[in-house]
A = this chain, B = another copy of it.
Amino acid sequence: MASSVAIFTSEGNAHLIVPEDERELAAATSSARLIPYSSVTLQHLTSAAEAIEGPLSETLSSIGLTGRAGARVGVQMKQGVQPASYAVSTLFRGSLNQTLARIAPRLELVPCDDLFEREKSIRTPVELNLMRHAMKFAARGFHEAPQAISHTADEHAVAALVQGAFEASPLPPEIQRSYGFFFCMSGPNSATASAAYARTRQRAIADGDLVMIHANTCCDGFWTDLTRTYTAGEPSTRHKEIRAAIFQARAAALAAIRPGVPAREVDSAARQVMASHGLGEAFRHGLGHGVGYAAANALALPRIHPESPDILLEGMTFNIEPAAYFDGYGGMRHCDVVAVTSTGVEVLSEF
């Protein structure tokens, strides 16, 4: 429920102050030293912000931070994102920094947002494997999509069938949690899906409509960001042309990906293909952004965007989402998640 506090030392040790209720899950998915705490109990109406004060103080003291003059702690101070890790998440807001200032007044708090974003952009082999799992589970929802679209009348019903297929698919025993969201946007609603905010409505799907299925699902903390677009009924010649352009743009982007390449060149490779098909204006957003600890965060590194200053590094994972949108008519997008390998690219969502 996001009410944990993680402390990383420069020696590479991790300490995790975690609610007692979530200790089992933390132990199964993290190698950090766990310091459990309880907030609300039958005896006390204590908030998490209050309950972490003691454990936080002890932990800082145990690693020699409270007494030392000139000690510095990096904390996140800028805008960030919180993936839906549960029905509700705890926000410490400014209270965490206030607590730090109270229990360790000699500590200097410095912003660590940029460092943290860079660290979060690179996957370890274990994390990469969880992402492969996540894509495989999400694929089971997409496998249901053509049948769902041909048999149902509206976006809500299609989304439910696809989501249901995802939920019902069995998991390997080592996976702790797999959950997420599938959205369906059809006809004119798919034209406005250029934005980060996908949403299923109750629109009746008509024959010939473009029907976009978008998924953000999570496997033990690692997210997918996937889109496939279908036609209700037979694809028109125009649909086939747009699809061919999108797949050509995707291939150009994939061919450009390897360590050391500026992210904007990957965007450019796809964008040039779209423009050559007369779809430059219809491709309204950047080609991609970092995907892993969260989905649908256009500012996660690396930003595959015309204005991006980012350079691709081995282990980075991001999406590639060439698309074309036509107001009042519809949109087509094909969004995959890829990883940068030592020599090129691995498509994690090959389905």
Chain A interface (Cβ < 8 Å from any Cβ of B): 1, 19-22, 24-25, 39-40, 42-45, 47-49, 76-84, 86-95, 97, 156-157, 159-161, 163-164, 167-168, 170-171, 173, 175-177, 179-181, 192, 195-197, 199-202, 216, 223, 284-286, 294-299, 303, 305-308
Which 6 pairs, one residue from A and one from B, show the smallest C-beta to C-beta distance?
A: A21-B195, A87-B216, A84-B84, A49-B79, A164-B164, A160-B167
Q: Contact check, B91 vs A40: say whether CB atoms are below 8 A apart.
A: no
Contact, CB under 8 Å: A49 / B78: yes
In the complex, which of the residues B86, B97, B196, B202 contacts A171, with contact meaning CB atoms closer than 8 Å?
A: B202
Closest to A216 in B: B87
Cβ A167 vs Cβ B168 within 8 A: no
Contact of B89 with A195 in the complex, beta carbons under 8 Å: no
Chain B residues, Cβ within 8 Å of A88: 81-84, 216, 294-297
Choose among B40, B94, B299 the residue that contacts A45 (Cβ–Cβ < 8 A).
Answer: B299
Q: Shortest beta-carbon distance, A264 to chain B, in Å?
A: 11
Are B81 and A90 within 8 A (Cβ)? yes
Q: Given A40-B286, A43-B307, 19 more contacts at CB 8 Å?
A: A19-B196, A21-B195, A40-B285, A40-B299, A42-B285, A43-B306, A45-B299, A45-B303, A45-B308, A47-B79, A77-B94, A79-B92, A81-B88, A84-B87, A86-B181, A89-B89, A91-B91, A156-B170, A167-B167
Contact A173 B202, CB 8 Å, known A81-B90, A90-B81, A303-B45 = yes
A196 to chain B, nearest CB (A): 6
C-alpha spacing A324/B92, complex, angstroms:
31
A78: chain B residues within 8 A (beta carbon): 47, 49, 93, 95
Give A43 to B307 CA distance when docked, in angstroms: 7
CA distance A68 to B230 in the complex (A): 56
Could you tell me the distance between the alpha carbons of A181 and B88 in the complex, rounded to whole angstroms?
A: 11
Main secondary structure of the interface of A (DSSP, over half): loop
Q: Are B93 and A93 in contact (CB under 8 A)?
A: yes
Considering only CB atoms, which chain B residue lies closest to A303 in the complex? B45
- Given A1-B197, A22-B197, A88-B296, decide whether A167 and B163 contact each other with a Cβ distance below 8 A: yes
Are A83 and B87 interface neighbours, CB within 8 A? yes
A168 CB contact (under 8 Å) in B164, B196, B285: B164
Chain B residues positioned under 8 Å from A171 (CB to CB): 156, 202
Contact among B22, B94, B160, B305 for A94, CB-based, below 8 A: B94
Task: Give A180's nearest chain B residue, CB to CB.
Answer: B87
Cross-chain contact B81 with A95 (CB below 8 angstroms): no
Chain B residues with CB below 8 A from A307, complex form: 43-45
CA distance A296 to B2 in the complex (A): 13
Given contacts A156-B171, A177-B199, A295-B88, is CB(A42)–CB(B306) below 8 Å?
Answer: yes
A sample of 9 cross-chain residue pairs with beta-carbon separation below 8 angstroms, ordered by A number, consists of A40-B285, A42-B305, A45-B307, A77-B94, A78-B93, A81-B88, A84-B86, A91-B91, A173-B202
Q: Assess the B87–A91 pair: CB atoms within 8 A.
A: no
